Amino acid sequence: MTLWLPAHAYEQKTPVPDTLSSEQIHLLDSIENEIAVPQCCNGPLATCLGRKVHCALAGRLHQFVKWLVARGTSPATIVLETQKRYESLVSTRTNVVDTTVFAIAGDKHAPVLITGYVSATCPICHFVTHELYDAVTVGELKGKARLMVKPLGYGFANRSLAAANEMGRFWDFFIGIAKTRGRLTDELIYHVADSLRMSLGEFKRRVSAPEADSCVKASTAEANACGITLAPSYFISRVRYQSYKDPMWLIDAVECRYEALQNGK
C-alpha cells in the first residue's frame, strides 16, 4: 500500500532530487500526460517537454511535479497543485495594493514587486519573509525584485510593525522578531526593539497611538478586499500567488515573472 503524504507539510527548502526511482518516474510521466499547459503548447505538459526545445514554463512545472512526486504527494493532489501553480505563473489579474506606507527592501528600481500580508506572531511568516528578504537584498533576486510586507490583523504585535515602520526601522525590526524563538510576547517585542537601540519610549508611544491602529486596520482591510484572510499571503507584481509558499517556489515564481518582463510580456 502506498502512503501518500499531505501536500502542504511544513517542510521548507527541500531541494528537487537529482534522480527518481523507476516507480516515481512512471508516476511522473503519467501525471505530466494529464496536466494541460494551454499557454505554452496547448496540450499536455509531457508533449511540450518531449520537444527538442521546450518552453521555460514547462521546465518550471516539470521541476515542481518532480519535487511533489519525490515527496510522496498523492497523484490527485499533484495535478491540482500543479494546475494552481500554472495559474499563479500565467495570471494577469492584478489587485490594488498600496505601496506608499510600508518600507520596501531591495533595489528600488527592481522590476518585480513582491507584496506580502503577514502576521507578526506567525512563525511561517517570519521564515518565508526572511528568506525573501535575503533573496532580494543579497541573493538570487537582487536587482530583479523588491519586497514589501504589511500586517494582517489588529493585535499588539502587528501594531509594533506599524510603529517600527513609522520610526524608519521596519526591516531590521521584522528580521529581529523573525530570529526570535518561542511565543512572541509583548515583553519579547520590547526586548527586540531595545536590542536594536530603538527609543523604547517612542516605540511604546507609537505602538499605542491611534495611528498604528488605523494603519493595521487599513492594511487588513486591503488584504480582505483582495480575498486574503490568512497569513502569509503573497502577490507578485500585484498578481496573487496561490501556490506553495516554500521560499524556493516563491523565488522560482518571481524569476518566472522577471523573465516574462525581460521578454516584453
Here the CATH number for the domain that contains residue 165 is 3.40.30.10
- Residues in the chain, pLDDT under 70: 1-14, 265
Last residue of a domain, one of 34, 55, 90: 90
Per-residue pLDDT of 59-102, as tens digits, reads 999 999 999 999 999 999 999 999 999 999 999 999 999 999 99
- Is residue 160 in some structural domain? yes
Instruction: Give the per-residue pLDDT at 219.
Output: 98
Instruction: Give the per-residue pLDDT at 54.
Output: 74
Backbone dihedral angles phi then psi of residue 179, each to the nearest 5 degrees: -85, -5
Q: Quick one: 122 and 233 in the same domain?
A: yes
Q: Quick one: 44 and 150 in the same domain?
A: no
Instruction: Give the per-residue pLDDT at 10.
Output: 42
Q: Quick one: 45 and 120 in the same domain?
A: no
| CA nearest to 158, candidates 202, 207, 114 | 207
Find the helix packing angle between 200-208 and 210-225, rounded to 10°. Answer: 60
- Is residue 138 in some structural domain? yes
| CA nearest to 265, candidates 239, 234, 241 | 239
Q: Quick one: 185 and 217 in the same domain?
A: yes
Q: Quick one: 48 and 127 in the same domain?
A: no
Instruction: Give the per-residue pLDDT at 159.
Output: 98
Q: What type of residue sits at position 130?
A: H
Here the CATH number for the domain that contains residue 35 is 1.10.8
- Is residue 101 in some structural domain? no
- Is residue 199 in some structural domain? yes
Cα–Cα distance for residue pair 115/117, rounded to 1 Å: 7
Q: Quick one: 180 and 233 in the same domain?
A: yes
Instruction: Give the per-residue pLDDT at 50.
Output: 86
Instruction: Give the per-residue pLDDT at 9.
Output: 41
| Enclosing domain of residue 230 | 112-246
- Is residue 104 in some structural domain? no
- Is residue 5 in some structural domain? no
The number of folded domains in the chain is 2
Q: Quick one: 220 and 154 in the same domain?
A: yes
Instruction: Give the per-residue pLDDT at 106.
Output: 98
Contact 168, 129 (CB under 8 A): no
Per-residue pLDDT of 200-211, as tens digits, reads 999 999 999 999
| CA nearest to 160, candidates 119, 101, 122, 124 | 119
- Is residue 204 in some structural domain? yes
Instruction: Give the per-residue pLDDT at 12.
Output: 55
| CA nearest to 34, candidates 69, 6, 3 | 69
Q: Quick one: 116 and 199 in the same domain?
A: yes
